[in-house]
């Protein structure tokens, strides 16, 4: 009898969620589509050759240069001198080689790592074709580390992103919607225990979380053969902790707002910086050292770091003390603040 209200409140949350087809799409299908899209865009079928454009004043000279460059790592295309400047800088090639009297000229954008690699490869091929002999004999052995592909790296980030998003919408938005509909007020006029309500809201969140995590990881595993080396308990534990932390942030976001515009704006203000800075699509290390302490304090950064370490490198939860600490701190502080500020009407 004591838990009947909790059970009914939980059932009510589950029903409201599952009877909303758009929600199913955005929470379950959209992340999978995103992963599929990124997976296709960044799939790598073996090393890709660099593309070198060869320019000379005669077709014979061009052909000769192209022959000297020939190697599996270099792909060439040829052009006349007259095309040299006309095409502008926006070409697909990584490097342009222009034949000059007694040598060649390399043209490249030094900002692009691919271009610098192309120059080294082309230079070596040209020098060796002219008889340069390297003093040290070298061999190369391919050694592919599992989990080093972009898709392997990005799936934990998208998982973190999804935990953030669904917690924010599932808690804050729901609360404000219920407040606007005066359902919160109506409930507070019943003998319902307030704790039961919040507990049911969080419990429904956690049930959906389990489904989201399983869906994303299973998709990554089955479709992209992403390696998952961490133990399930640590994976589940960190996802749970992340969801608790974000739910607390979301509870605080929705503690007082009484307009959907307000809560949507607040949620975006919280989420967008983390989408960019927390290493979802590209590494957070790219930001300058000055802002790194700040970035490392963001909960999503820590969740993503922890997920990658556990999923890809086989760490366990205890190894990820920074993630556990930062996520717990956000969760506890926001939950305490939300309880003080919460308004039922």
Partner 1 sequence: MDSPALLCESLVKVYPPDVRAVDGLDLEVPRGECFGLLGPNGAGKTTTVEICEGLLEPTSGRVEILGRRWADAGRALRLRIGVSLQETRLPEKASALETARLFRSFYDDGLEPLEVLREVGLESKADAWVGKLSGGQKRRLEIACALVGRPELLFLDEPTTGLDPQARRQLWEVIRRLRAEGRTVLLTTHYMDEAEQLCDRVAIIDKGRVIALGSPEELIGALGGDRVLEVVLDGPAPPPDESFWRERVQDVCEARVDGDRALLSVNRPHIAIPSLLEAIAAAGRSLEDLKTRHATLEDVFLKLTGRTLEGESR
181 lies in the site for partner 1, by CB under 8 A? yes
Of these, 159, 178, 266, 338, which contacts partner 1 (CB under 8 A)?
Answer: 178
- Angstrom CA distances, 170 to 165, 239, 242, 244, 260, stand at 8, 15, 14, 12, 13
**Structural contact between residues 66 and 76, judged by C-beta atoms closer than 8 angstroms:** yes
Q: Nearest approach, Cβ of 296 to partner 1 (angstroms)? A: 40
182 lies in the site for partner 1, by CB under 8 A? yes
Residue 210: CB partners within 8 Å, gap ≥ 6? 236
Quote the CA–CA distance of 95 and 225 in Å, as a whole number.
Answer: 34
Q: Which is nearer to partner 1, 178 or 307 (CB)?
A: 178
192 lies in the site for partner 1, by CB under 8 A? yes
CB atoms within 10 A of CB 102: 5
Tell me how many residues contact partner 1 (CB under 8 A): 25
Of these, 113, 191, 195, 293, which contacts partner 1 (CB under 8 A)?
Answer: 191
Q: Which is nearer to partner 1, 15 or 48 (CB)?
A: 15
Quote the CA–CA distance of 8 and 12 in Å, as a whole number.
Answer: 6
Pairing of strands 74-80, 95-100: unpaired
Q: Which is nearer to partner 1, 1 or 41 (CB)?
A: 1
| Residue 302 main-chain phi, psi, to 5 deg | -70, -40
Q: Which is nearer to partner 1, 125 or 192 (CB)?
A: 192
Q: Which is nearer to partner 1, 189 or 297 (CB)?
A: 189
229 lies in the site for partner 1, by CB under 8 A? no
Residues near partner 1 (CB under 8 A) are: 1, 4-5, 7-9, 11-12, 15-16, 19-20, 178, 181-183, 185-186, 188-193, 345
């Amino acid at each position: 009898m004591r838990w009947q209200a909790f059970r009914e409140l939980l059932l009510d949350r589950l029903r409201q969620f599952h009877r909303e087809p758009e929600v199913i799409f955005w929470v379950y299908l959209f992340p999978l589509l995103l992963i599929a899209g990124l997976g296709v865009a960044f799939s790598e079928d073996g090393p890709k050759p660099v593309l070198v454009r060869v320019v000379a004043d005669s077709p014979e000279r061009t052909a000769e240069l192209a022959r000297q460059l020939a190697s599996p790592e270099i792909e060439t295309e040829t052009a006349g001198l007259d095309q040299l400047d006309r095409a502008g800088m926006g070409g697909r090639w990584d490097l342009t080689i222009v034949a000059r009297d007694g040598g060649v000229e390399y043209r490249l954008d030094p900002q692009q790592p691919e271009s610098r690699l192309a120059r080294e490869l082309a230079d070596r091929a040209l020098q060796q074709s002219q008889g340069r002999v390297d003093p040290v004999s070298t061999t190369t052995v391919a050694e592919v580390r599992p989990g080093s592909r972009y898709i392997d790296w990005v799936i934990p980030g998208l998982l973190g992103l999804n935990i953030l998003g669904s917690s924010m919408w599932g808690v804050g938005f729901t609360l404000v919607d219920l407040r606007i509909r005066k359902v919160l007020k109506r409930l507070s006029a019943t003998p319902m225990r307030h704790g039961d309500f919040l507990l049911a809201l969080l419990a429904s969140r956690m049930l959906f979380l389990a489904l989201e995590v399983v869906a994303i990881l299973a998709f990554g595993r089955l479709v992209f053969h992403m390696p998952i080396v961490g133990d399930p308990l640590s994976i589940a534990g960190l996802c749970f902790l992340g969801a608790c932390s974000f739910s607390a942030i979301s509870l605080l976001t929705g503690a007082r707002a009484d307009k959907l515009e307000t809560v949507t704006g607040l949620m975006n203000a919280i989420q967008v910086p983390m989408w960019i800075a927390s290493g979802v699509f590209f590494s957070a290390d790219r930001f300058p050292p000055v802002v790194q302490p700040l970035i490392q304090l963001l909960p999503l950064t820590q969740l993503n770091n922890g997920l990658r370490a556990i999923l890809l490198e086989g760490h366990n939860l205890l190894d990820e003390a920074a993630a556990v600490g930062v996520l717990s701190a956000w969760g506890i502080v926001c939950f305490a603040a939300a309880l003080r500020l919460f308004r039922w009407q």
